[in-house]
Amino acid sequence: VVMARTDALAREGLDAAVERAVACVEAGADAIFPEAILDLNQYRRFSESVDVPILANITEFGKTPLFNCQELADSGVSMVLYPLSAFRAISKAALEVYQAIAINGDQRAVLEKMQTRAELYKVLGYHAYEEKIDALFSVKN
């Protein structure tokens, strides 16, 4: 799959960005990634101009507003990328943990915010994995 990204909108405007998207599709692109979209009508314009999927890059603190999935779908967007959402949350949580350790000498003040071992194992499907490994490598008499 070849996805063509265009950043032309911010410097050259919507018409130029759409023209580039069309040219990319004509050259063989399987999808279009228009960057720095400011409103849903701009996504709609891309989706009406090319017959390939459109990707929305929804990153916090960027130029593109935080549209929801339904708004994007209604505007012709087929794929949504959230490239830093989890990382930003993890980074802030890690900072809070290490600040607590620096201030208190331990992490007890933030334990209630942490995922327990049981919760982690459930998310990972750890026990099912263990059973599978045991079944694969058990010695049969």
- The DSSP bridge partners found for residue 32 are 4, 54
Q: What average pLDDT does the segment 19-29 reach?
A: 98
Q: Are residues 50 and 108 in the same domain?
A: no
CA dist 12 and 7 (Å) reads: 9
CB 78 within 8 A of CB 52: no
Do residues 7 and 52 share a domain?
yes
Distance between CA 11 and CA 5 in Å, rounded? 14
Please check whether residues 59 and 121 belong to one and the same domain: no
Regarding whether 113 and 75 lie in a shared domain, the answer is: no
Give the pLDDT band of residue 138 (cuts 50, 70, 90).
Answer: confident
Number of folded domains that form the chain? 2
Domain's final residue, options 81, 105, 126? 81
Judged on CB neighbours under 10 Å (0-12, 13-18, 19+), 61 is exposed
Last residue of a domain, one of 81, 97, 129: 81
Residue 139's pLDDT is what?
Answer: 64
Residues 13 and 54: their CA atoms lie apart, in Å, by 18
Structural domain of 40: 3-81
Residues 38 and 91 in one domain: no
pLDDT in tens, 49-104: 999 999 999 999 999 999 999 999 999 999 999 999 999 999 999 999 999 999 99
The rounded mean pLDDT for the chain is 96
Residues of the chain with pLDDT > 90: what percent? 97
* Cβ contact 113:93 at 8 Å: yes
